[in-house]
Amino acid sequence: MAQFVSGIVPPAAVEGARYFHVIGSLVFISDRIEIETDDDHHFLGMFDEEACWGVDVPRGIDPSDGAALDLRSLYTRTSELEWLIAGRAVQVVEWARTSQFCGRCGTKTGQLPGERATKCPACGLMAFPRIAPAMITLVTRGEPGPDQEVLLARGVQFGGPMYSCLAGFVEPGETLEGTVVREVFEEVGLTVANVQYRGSQPWPFPHSLMIGFRAEYVSGEIVCDPTEIVDAGWYRRDNLPMIPPGISIARKLIDAWLAEG
């Protein structure tokens, strides 16, 4: 079973390497560096015996001759593990691009050795890659069994007639469970309880971490917030609407519930 162990400092000796070239926000994977570069590459971790690197390709250059893919397209053409590494590459490279100066005093910063961090030489401010935690939850209604229903909603930003779990960003000072209860009430006017963690997924669009939950309906009638939700409803296993593709944790939450039935 292939394994990826993330890291910041590469081991002294490695047998092979894999380079994740980041071209804008596109990715091109190769077993060699395809550009002339001084130091604009970032160790990501070990994929079995191979050291993985994120390579920051300067603007205006495309060493892939058009073969580089965005992360969504890459998902269907590689393993889930390699896709996660590619997402890490894009986020680490983009963070290095956008954290070259101190956010407090504007001085040019440098990378801290051995850490995924920058430190300002003038004022000492440290900065770390930005990760935006977001909860996503599947709400059930009724006892487990064939008559149990789940709440699925169509977001205003969805392209097609697809229905999914509710999701929202964590606010400063909030617990994850608190976010679940607040977002469900804000988006569809329902009260939920018994919030249970079910797994997580890095979501590099651009730097989220999706944290998946199940929750149980307590009370209320569905009233959609029109700025976020076009339509929402309760669905049994035998009358599901169109649901998200396999790339998303939303689909994994729904599939796990389907398997219980």
Which residues would be at the binding site for Zn ion (CB under 5 A)?
Answer: 102, 104-105, 107, 120, 122-123, 125
β-pairing, 208-219 vs 132-141, is parallel
Helices (H), the chain: 71-75, 80-98, 176-188, 249-260
In whole angstroms, give the CA distance from residue 145 to residue 67. Answer: 48
3-state SS, residue 237:
helix
Q: How far is the CB of 207 from Zn ion (least distance, A)?
A: 22
Closest by alpha carbon to 84, among 47, 128, 113? 47
Q: How far is the CB of 123 from Zn ion (least distance, A)?
A: 3
Least distance CB 114 / Zn ion (angstroms): 21
Q: How far is the CB of 139 from Zn ion (least distance, A)?
A: 45
Shortest distance (Å) from residue 130 CB to Zn ion: 17
Q: Pick the closer one to Zn ion by CB: 124 or 241.
A: 124
Pairwise CA distance, residues 155 & 158, whole Å = 5
The neighbour count for residue 261, using CB atoms within 10 Å, is: 12
Report the nearest approach of Zn ion to the CB of residue 121 (Å). 8
CA-to-CA dists, residue 18 to 48, 49, 58, 96, angstroms: 11, 10, 19, 19
CB-nearer residue toward Zn ion: 105 or 240 = 105
Measuring CA to CA, how many Å separate 51 from each of 3, 54, 83, 237?
12, 10, 15, 44
Which residues lie closer than 8 Å to 74 by C-beta, 6 or more apart? Answer: 27, 83, 86
Task: Please state the closest distance from residue 217 (CB atom) to Zn ion, in A.
Answer: 49
CB closer to Zn ion out of 96 and 249: 96
